[in-house]
Amino acid sequence: MCGFAGYLGGALRQEGEGHRALLKRMTDTIARRGPDDEGFWFDRDRAVGLGHRRLAIVDLSSNGHQPMRSGSSRFVIAYNGEIYNHLDLRRQLDAMGAAPAWRGHSDTETLLAGFEAWGIEATIRRAIGMFAFAAWNCDTGVLTLGRDRIGEKPLYYGWQGRGSDAAFLFGSELKALRAHPAFESSVNRGAVSLQLRHNYIPAPYSIYEGISKLLPGCLLEVSLAEREPRISPYWNGFHNARSGASNAFAGSPEEAADSLEELLKDAVGKQMMSDVPLGAFLSGGIDSSTVVALMQAQSSRPVKTFSIGFHEEGYNEAEHAKAVAAHLGTDHTELYVTASEAMSVIPQLPGLYDEPFSDPSQIPTYLVSKLARRHVTVSLSGDAGDELFCGYQRYQQTADLWRRLAAKPLMLRRLAARGLLSLSPQSWNALTGNMQAVLPRAFRGANVGHKFHKGAAVLESDSIAALYFGLISHWNDPASVVIGGHDLPTVLTGGRQELAGLDEFQSLMTLDMHSYLPDDILVKVDRAAMGVSLESRVPFLDHRVVEFALSLPQSMKIRDGQSKWILRNVLYRHVPRQLVDRPKMGFSVPIGSWLRGPLRDWAEALLDADRLRNEGFLQPELVRAKWTEHLAGRYNWEWHLWIVLMFQAWLEQQK
């Protein structure tokens, strides 16, 4: 795990600053991603530079130093990640007589040898792993950026500056790009609207105008001769979902469990490759318990496992993790965290995440990463099990609701929606104040008007993708809250054709695989872990596991009302079901009550009406209305407010 940054073109405007000094200034901002080594490569004539920070995991010697040149010096690479099958690739290169005289045993050297023998895209298609890289072709003057299939590793890019100062910037985090003199820090108001809707900014957008995230599964080529980036996918999740649906696994449930266990065992075994101490996060749930069980089955000594506990009822999974660890015989470490210790993380969040990001589970994720880093340098996690094996209740709820809606004519539903929208939420609240007993159960309680308006959006849905988009939106009309804001197209608004041939559940899981998983879950884990120089690995995202999961019929994912049925049956071979069969518990913290209590003054300062008005990004009246209702206990607006607060906290650090 590492970090890199670089540029193509531009002029060095800082007096006395050369290429090396500039690259060092950029990579110093991401030193936590790679505290063990730094390296720089540049070509003055072509105005191209690559900088690297290394967290040494495989081949700790200087033979793993980056940026690294290929054997013929044709390619130079700066790379972040791990190629878990790189020794297999080496054997293939050796067998075909295309291997160089190997200098060491790093996967970086393997990638470069593959680039020379097979080309960049063909090598990446052979690779099993997580990665982001920048590769410069010294012969052609073409820069290639690449990102792994699902998006475990981040990669930002974009042209900045004007005229002779214009430079193509790229790097693992935005702070590295900001350190370049050509960078222009104009906030993308459409991206702010997206953050208010989703609590994250989905790829390809970033918080800054002109800076993009490379989409997962894509390669990008750019040069000074052809300045418009050419982006091409080498792996497509929608295609694989459709292929899996049309070529569904035809074996028995027992055969499916056997195949899944074999794939997961191989994925976990490959991801245990490390020359430094390695462990795993363990919550005691289905996903992390499966990963740890398969690790322990392949380890000659107790696997190091880590969990965080909270004293607040409803937020503590540590006792379940401890029971699973005891059964498997792991070397388990748990830490109970007080509310004040958890809240002390909040000031660090804008710097860790580099752009507004507001999934509250970012706090415990950082804490468990910090705990693990005291003992290990690499930690495996159970992330992505929900998205692959139908673990979220919202999939079942959305599918059921869509079936009921689709049975009613869209025209009638739109008329009903207009009726609900004919009055403001405040008017509905006043009108229904004394009608609670006769209202449908779903519309009882405080703030009925908000629920009616949310229901109107549901009624108008013309596809399951549109329905899901509305249900998972936090601020339903964020463009009305963001001054100058507007709705930007995303996979959730434009991917409906890609869902052809998929049933309701397959559609929802595929949408999450292209949005919530890479842009929320994987961002959360990467930045939290890298913030303490810990490498995180996700065995469920081995693309062979992903493709197999996409081929499984729904009856093997949900059966008799039980989610992740096939995965549970793999886990039951290692852990008694009574230790893991329990209601799903979110990995989060009680933000709502904290905002009414110990975080109130902090939030009040960020949400001050004059401050909001002077900053000019958010409509003060709309934000303050929710803050007032939340403080009064009339409605729990914790998600809406946390999203705004994380934007405000990020904005404060930009000054």
Q: Give the span between the Cα atoms of 639 and 344, in whole angstroms.
A: 19
CB 464 within 8 A of CB 504: yes
Burial class (CB in 10 A: 0-12, 13-18, 19+), 572: middle
Determine the 3-state secondary structure of 136 from DSSP.
strand
How far apart, in whole angstroms, are the C-alpha atoms of residue 451 and residue 96?
A: 64
Known catalytic membership, residue 2: yes
What is the secondary structure of 376-408 as a DSSP string? Answer: -SEEE--TTHHHHHT--HHHHHHHHHHHHHHTS
Cβ atoms of 17 and 42 closer than 8 Å: no
Q: What is the token pair recorded at 571?
A: 């886990």
Return the residue matching tokens 């007032």: 628
Nearest CA among 239, 176, 184, 226 for reference residue 209: 184
Spatial contact of 554 and 506, defined as CB atoms under 8 Å apart: yes
Q: What is the 3-state secondary structure (H, E, C) of 553-621?
A: CHHHCCECCECCHHHHHHHCCCCCHHHHCCCCCCCCCCHHHHHHCCCHHHHHHHCCHHHHHHHCCECHH
Q: Which residue, among 179, 166, 147, has the nearest Cα to 8 in the 3D structure?
A: 166
Rg of the Cα trace of the chain?
A: 25
Distance from CA of residue 258 to its chain's centroid? 29
CB atoms within 10 A of CB 314: 9
**Ramachandran sector of residue 34 (left: φ over 0; alpha: ψ -120 to 50; beta: rest):** beta
Burial class (CB in 10 A: 0-12, 13-18, 19+), 494: exposed
Contact in structure between 603 and 321 (CB atoms under 8 Å): no
In angstroms, the Cα distances linking 193 to 7, 59, 187 are 29, 44, 11
Answer whether 350's CB lies under 8 Å from 377's CB. no
Map tokens 């980056």 to a residue. Answer: 66
Alpha-helical regions (H) of 46-185? 86-95, 107-118, 120-126, 174-178
Q: Which position among 2, 138, 218, 390 bears the catalytic label?
A: 2
Residue numbers annotated as active site:
2
